[in-house]
Structures are given as C-alpha cells and as structure tokens.
C-alpha cells in the first residue's frame, strides 16, 4: 500500500481508477479506508480516480497524538496537503459521518481545492452528542488515567492501529500518559464546543456559506438520522438530497457494511451527480 509523508506524518492511501477527475472519499468514525474500497471501485467505473486514505491515528497510518487544533481540522489540512502532493486538485470531496464533516472542513479551510461535496450519513442530534465524545476521546482518557499508555495500547481501537502499523506501539509507549491525556482532553473540548444539529460541530452559517454543488445522502440510525441530512440540505444553497430506499431504525448505529446492498444505488447517483458537473 503506498504512503506519503504529509506534514511530517506517514499517511497510507490508495488510488482506485487510473483516469478522470479526482474524488477524495473518507470513511466515518476512525475506521480504515478499506471500508470504502468496494464503493470506490464502483464509483471509479464512471471514469473517476477515487482517493482513499487512512487519516492520521486511523487504519495503517501513523499515530501522532499532538496538535492544538481539533483532530478533524488536522485531518482536513492533511487531506488538502495529500491532494496537493498527488497533483489531484481541485477535486470532488466526500465522505460519510466524520468523513462528511471532514469534507465540509476541507471546503471551509481550502475552498480553492473543492469542486463539489458528497455528504453521506450526516451526523447530528442528541444520540451523536452523547455517544461520540466518549467513543472518540473520553474512553481513551479514562484508559490512560487507569493504566497509563499500556492501558491505551490495550484498548481494541489502538490494538487495531498497532496491528495495522506495528511502529505505532512504540510511538504510543514513548508518550507520557499526561501528555496523551492533555491532547485528548483538548480535542474533546473542541469536539463538543460546536452545535449538535443538524451537522455536529458545524455552524449553520458555515452550511449556508457553502457555494459549491452538494449531494447529500441521509443515514438511517439515531446517530445519522435522516432528519439531520434533510435539514442540512435546506441550509446549503446548492444541495441535492438523495434519499435511499430505507427507513430510519431505532438503533444507535448501523454499520456502513450493512449498506453494502445499497452501494450500486449510491455509486450510480454519485456518478450521475459528478458527471453533471464536469
């Protein structure tokens, strides 16, 4: 798997498709880019080069627990730099859940690089505001306080990152637990400081200021309720809403893998949307 040094961090990436406009697609949560390989292959058949990558601190990329800005802002700047290094700008930018927030941040911070946005499984509402701060930050703060960096490395999430890139274990073990806790507490404060609806962490003014075409595909669980996306589509001036043949379920989270039967429908609509802009 190719990798690049991006702002001093090793970032693993994959390009699917060998010709056509660039489309950077980011997964949700803190999951590896591998989750989107199947979808990316389908989109690439429409004549696109789909860039997937593991954000720092996810997948097989390097773990770097540092930075005064929020983690998702750091990711946005990393993706912008990776696109520049690959000669892939301007590009279509898209993602699901945290990948959708990342896409909005790239547009906000690097507007010249973004031709259009594809936002899937928009995150917002009370369930997201309750679940995600703990899942992304507090549980690891608690692990560090209880067991130091050994405790952090023993968590399933960090075990995955160590397995994918064994060097990550020494990086983590060479950190002081106090430093790890301080960074994550700062990221947690930033993560919980913004709005929770319709898009968690994104001000309504930011949504209203998006001046490129946007395709929005709602989710269907309590973390990615369809109402989040429907309301966001009302606020974004150039948004097109595409609702899949699904209904909202009364569960906290539906894994993206459960959407596998919908990938053909999603890819066909994404291709139609992007081709209509070229």
End residue of a domain, out of 190, 215, 231: 190
Same domain, 215 and 262: yes
| Backbone phi, psi, residue 202, to 5° | -120, 125
Query: Quick one: 240 exposed, middle or buried, by C-beta within 10 A (0-12, 13-18, 19+)?
Result: middle
Residue 227 Cα to chain centre, angstroms: 20
Same domain, 36 and 135: no
Same domain, 218 and 186: no
Same domain, 29 and 86: yes
- Note whether residue 196 is domain-resident: no
pLDDT for residue 135 is more than 80? yes
End residue of a domain, out of 190, 210, 227: 190
Terminal C-alpha separation, the chain: 30
Same domain, 35 and 173: no
- Note whether residue 104 is domain-resident: yes
The predicted structure's pLDDT at residue 1 = 86
Residue 233's contacts (CB-CB under 8 Å, 6 or more residues apart) are 214, 216, 239, 240, 241
Instruction: Tell me how long the chain is.
Output: 278
Same domain, 208 and 250: yes
Edge-first strand order for the sheet with 114-120 is 3-6, 9-16, 49-53, 22-26, 91-96, 114-120, 214-217, 239-241
End residue of a domain, out of 156, 190, 224: 190
> Which CATH number covers residue 225?
3.40.50.1820
- Note whether residue 264 is domain-resident: yes
Same domain, 135 and 30: no
- Note whether residue 197 is domain-resident: no
The predicted structure's pLDDT at residue 271 = 98
- Note whether residue 59 is domain-resident: yes
Q: Which domain holds residue 117?
A: 3-124+202-275
CA dist 103 and 101 (Å) reads 5
- Note whether residue 143 is domain-resident: yes
The predicted structure's pLDDT at residue 65 = 98
- Note whether residue 249 is domain-resident: yes
The predicted structure's pLDDT at residue 278 = 67
Same domain, 120 and 256: yes
CA dist 26 and 76 (Å) reads 11
CA dist 37 and 25 (Å) reads 10
Secondary structure in 3-state letters for 118-153:
EEECCCCCHHHHHHHHHHHHHHHHHHHHHHHHHHHH
pTM of the model: 0.96
Instruction: Name the one residue in this structure whose structure tokens are 């998702």.
Output: 72
Same domain, 165 and 141: yes
Tens digits of residue pLDDT in 6-17 = 999 999 999 999
- Whether the CB-CB separation of 252 and 223 falls below 8 Å is answered with yes
Tens digits of residue pLDDT in 73-113 = 999 999 999 999 999 999 999 999 999 999 999 999 999 99
pLDDT for residue 22 is more than 80? yes
**How many domains, in total, are found in the chain?**
2
Same domain, 207 and 186: no
SS3 74: helix
């Amino acid at each position: 798997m190719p990798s690049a040094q991006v702002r001093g961090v090793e970032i693993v990436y994959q390009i699917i498709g060998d010709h056509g406009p660039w489309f950077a697609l980011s997964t949700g949560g803190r999951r590896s880019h591998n989750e989107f390989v199947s979808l990316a292959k389908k989109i690439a058949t429409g004549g696109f080069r789909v860039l997937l990558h593991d954000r720092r601190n996810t997948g097989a990329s390097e773990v770097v627990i540092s930075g005064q800005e929020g983690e998702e802002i750091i990711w946005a700047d990393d993706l912008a730099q990776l696109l520049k290094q690959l000669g892939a700008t301007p590009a279509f930018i898209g993602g699901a859940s945290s990948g959708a927030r990342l896409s909005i941040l790239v547009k906000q911070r690097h507007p010249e690089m973004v031709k259009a946005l594809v936002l899937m499984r928009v995150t917002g509402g009370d369930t997201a505001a309750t679940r995600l701060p703990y899942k992304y930050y507090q549980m690891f703060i608690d692990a560090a306080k209880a067991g130091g960096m050994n405790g952090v490395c023993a968590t399933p999430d960090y075990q995955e990152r160590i397995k994918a890139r064994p060097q990550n274990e020494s990086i983590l073990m060479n950190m002081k637990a106090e430093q790890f806790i301080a960074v994550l507490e700062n990221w947690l404060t930033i993560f919980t400081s913004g709005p929770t609806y319709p898009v968690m962490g994104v001000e309504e003014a930011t949504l209203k200021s998006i001046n490129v075409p946007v395709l929005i595909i709602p989710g269907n669980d309590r973390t990615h309720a369809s109402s989040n996306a429907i309301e966001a589509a009302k606020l974004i001036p150039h948004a097109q809403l595409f609702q899949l043949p699904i209904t909202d379920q009364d569960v906290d989270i539906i894994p993206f893998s459960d959407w596998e039967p919908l990938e053909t429908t999603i890819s066909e609509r994404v291709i139609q949307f992007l081709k209509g802009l070229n």
